[in-house]
Amino acid sequence: MADLSRTLPLKRSSVQSAHERIKEHVQITPVLTCSTLSNLASTPQSPEALIGTHFEGQRPAHPRIHIFFKCENFQRIGAFKVRGAFHALSRLSKEELAKGVVTHSSGNHAQALALAARTYGIPAHIVMPTISTPSKIAATQGYGAKVYFSGSTSDEREAVVKDVIEDTGAILVPPYDHPDIILGQGTMALELEEQAKDCIRKDPALSVHHKGEQEFTNGYRNGTNHTNGTHALSAVSEPGHLDAVIAPIGGGGMLSGIATALHGTGTYVFGAEPSFEGADDARRGLAANKRIPTVKTLTIADGLRTPVGEIPWSIISDKTRLRGIYAVTEEQILQAMRLVLERMKVVVEPSAVVGLAVALYDEEFRGLVEREGGEEGWDIGVVLSGGNTTVEAIAKMFAVSEGKGERMEGKLGGRGERIAENVAG
């Protein structure tokens, strides 16, 4: 990667500069709304849904939430990672590019760097865990990259990367732990904030802050805005301003980029993780005030199996940049994925929906929105980070968890059924 002494400072203006550098290579992905999911998030969970949690016996939270989905699953290669990959390569010198690039990734960064390398006409060497999704391996190879296989932990991946560098002299482009990656990923937040405003300007009823609002019942709507992300924001006084953005966190490149892009704008930033087998290292690290350097988990959210990097940690551990991180169960992730597939008709991978799962099921987060949003509530941007999955993988996930899925649907206490009677979503 570019030497740290040559990187731009981690601030909003640098994200705006990154957006200018990469805009010819990335899609401005759409922002969608879905009345069914916003209504579901605004309906209390049943007491049965809280049984077995530390919220058991408490009054279920009753927040008011309208969601604006930033659909990075429609991005090139099917995920947000192309933003960081193209920005990273744009910052390398001609001499560095000529050496080729190397990285380790479970799939999305692998594909992104392979595509960026092909665009620049340079070799790409990609280290992937043997348990990576076959379709992601095939796509990475399809972009012309040479794939090497490793174990699933970050230590095992990095050992193979070291060997590749010794053999080829390739330049390491890490999946998340570098300012150029962070700034590139943060560009989605610039688009999201402007697209949400554009949606609300066209239809004020999409915002919880619209006075005299009536229920919106036409499913999801496409709010596109061809902004370059350089608009100067006048904080929360501006109509259409998002109250919060919530995004998944694995290595932390995307979440720290979003936190950097939105710092000082008045929009709170939150992270979302799986809780399975200690995948919630960022949440636990914040509680202990110490970064957790290793994670070994087989959560279905395979893009979030890595520990937070050192540079992303320096950002997300700053309370002026990140408000908090919440974690959800595998069952809740699957249920959120089912809702996006069935109600929005949008294909996503499990990692993409952890933020939505937090908005729907995490009582701590929902209670915070209820307390601070009051009767008006919050407009929340939710990042759908990617859609790299297959019909076979989706079928297998839901076949294995069919009984759990049915129990989870029952725990909704009629939330879905009541809304479905009134909303065509």
Residues with active-site annotation: 81, 106
Single-letter amino acid, residue 367: G
Distance from C-alpha of 117 to C-alpha of 201, rounded to nearest angstrom? 39
**H or E stretch covering 68:** strand 65-71
Q: Are 101 and 165 in contact (CB under 8 A)?
A: no
The sheet carrying 124-129 orders its strands as 146-150, 124-129, 101-104, 171-172
The label of the residue with tokens 């908090």 reads 324
Q: What are the CA-CA distances from residue 330 to residues 68, 279, 407 (Å)? A: 23, 11, 13
Cβ neighbourhood burial of 406 (10 Å; 0-12, 13-18, 19+): exposed
Q: Distance between CA 76 and CA 230 in Å, rounded?
A: 22
Is the Cα torsion angle 315, 86, 279, 274 positive or negative in sign? positive
182 burial class (0-12, 13-18, 19+ CB within 10 angstroms)?
buried
Tokens of 71: 């659909």
Closest CA relative to residue 74, chosen from 345, 395, 396, 394: 345
Spell out the alpha helix ranges (H) of 295-414.
310-316, 330-339, 354-361, 363-373, 391-400, 402-411
Q: Quick check: helix, strand or coil at residue 98?
A: helix
Q: How far apart are CA 71 and CA 53, in angstroms?
A: 31
Residue with tokens 């209670």: 367
Q: Per residue in 92-113, is it b (16+ CB within 10 Å) or e — as a string?
A: beeebbeebbbbbbbbbbbbbb
Report the relative pairing of strands 124-129 and 146-150 from DSSP bridges: parallel
User: How do strand 31-34 and strand 146-150 relate by DSSP bridges?
Assistant: unpaired
d(CA 191, CA 228): 7
